[in-house]
Amino acid sequence: MGRAPCCDKNGLKKGPWTSEEDLLLTNYIQTHGPGNWRTIPKNAGLQRCGKSCRLRWTNYLRPDIKRGRFSFEEEEAIIQLHSVLGNKWSAIAARLPGRTDNEIKNYWNTHVRKRLLRTGIDPVTHAPRLDLLDISSILRSAIGNVNPSILNLQGLLGAQALMNPEFLKLAATATLLSLKNNENPSNLVSQVQQQFNSAGNCLVQNQVAAPNDPFQTPTHVNNGLSSSSPENSILSHLGENNNYQLNAQQINQVDLLLDHELEHYLNCVNQNIGYESVTPLSTPTPLNSSSTYVNSSTEEERDTYCSDIFKLEIPESLDISDFL
DNA sequence: AAGTCACGCAACCGCTCGCGC
DNA sequence: GGCGCGAGCGGTTGCGTGACT
């Protein structure tokens, strides 16, 4: 378009504002109002471009700006709004009184983004990071020295299959179930995968709506696991092979791991109803959920909260803190 | 105590949008 | 419809500061 530069580059000051400049700008705007930003520096006696004045005013000098540390409620709101709006910092700022888009953007990049990454959540999609979500690692951490090759879920299932948290969790459950019964986990996991595949296109990821589809609600579907076919029943494979031995302690730990999830799953199988995890691996927080607000503010507490968003329901007695 | 490194934040830059002519 | 301009937005930069060695 060939537009002129926003200001004459020659003779105009750049860099940090001095208190004298702040005073000049504040006094002028409080007297005359913002008006035309291009004319403000000249009228206020500032050697700055209008753009610089506008930024200084909107991001720092405005009287309604809330300074200081973000509260946990604000941080939670930022995360939720970002999951809906994406990097629309001004839109997010509009919903957080007293906070500027620049401030929120900085806070996101320096704190929230890192925290989400640290807790295994993709800061862009707000979904669990699949590259980190190696259930095999969790299982190994949980049950100790089992041959890594027999716990390689990603190898067994393929990366795409891991896109479904429910399936992922069920596969992990199947692996533990197999180990408990001295089976090769690949057999049972394959059965689970076949049932998923044969159930049609039910492998819909349970995920947060993408930023560019802001009003899509999270999809949570029955994963399609059917127990109608006896030969495909997971239970039918119990006790076949005895090549994968766990010691007594490991079996005990597997029992703890399987406690809730397996019980629920077996109930579904026995009643011939659809299985839906009682503790979804990925549980996107509803935007309007006031229950998600936690009145804590330490880094550790926030980390814990963030990891709770998608954690596996693993008993506290198991030492998996290194992984988490 | 001095040097180095990492981090946080204010400010800048380049681009797009919307409006008036 | 095209152009010029102001305003706003999002990404990036660079400086100040505190932590660490």
- Give per-residue pLDDT as tens, A253-266: 444 444 444 444 44
pLDDT at A19 over 60: yes
**Degrees (nearest 5) of the Cα angle A175, A179, A183?**
95
Would you say the C-beta of A12 is within 7 Å of strand B?
no
What's this model's pTM, rounded to 2 decimal places? Answer: 0.54
Asked, for residue A234, whether it belongs to a domain, the answer is: no
Q: For chain C, which bases have at least one atom within 7 A of a protein Cβ?
A: 3-12, 15-16
- The reported pLDDT for the residue numbered A203 is 34
Would you say the C-beta of A70 is within 7 Å of strand B?
no
Domain count, chain A: 3
Q: For chain B, which bases have at least one atom within 7 A of a protein Cβ?
A: 7-17
In chain A, which ranges are continuous DSSP H helix? 19-32, 40-44, 50-56, 72-85, 89-94, 101-107, 113-118, 135-143, 153-157, 165-180, 185-198, 248-270, 299-308
Asked, for residue A25, whether it belongs to a domain, the answer is: yes
Tell me which residue range forms the domain holding A162.
130-176
- Give per-residue pLDDT as tens, A126-177: 777 655 545 555 555 555 545 545 455 555 555 444 445 445 555 556 666 6
Q: What is the CATH number of the domain that holds A40?
A: 1.10.10
Q: Measured between alpha carbons, how far is A41 from A31 in angstroms, rounded to an integer?
A: 14
Asked, for residue A272, whether it belongs to a domain, the answer is: no
Protein CA A304 to sugar C1' C7 (Å): 41
Measure CA to C1' and name the residue nearest C5.
A3
Would you say the C-beta of A56 is within 7 Å of strand B?
yes
Would you say the C-beta of A95 is within 7 Å of strand B?
no
Least confident residue range of A20-24, A28-32, A149-153, A219-223: A219-223
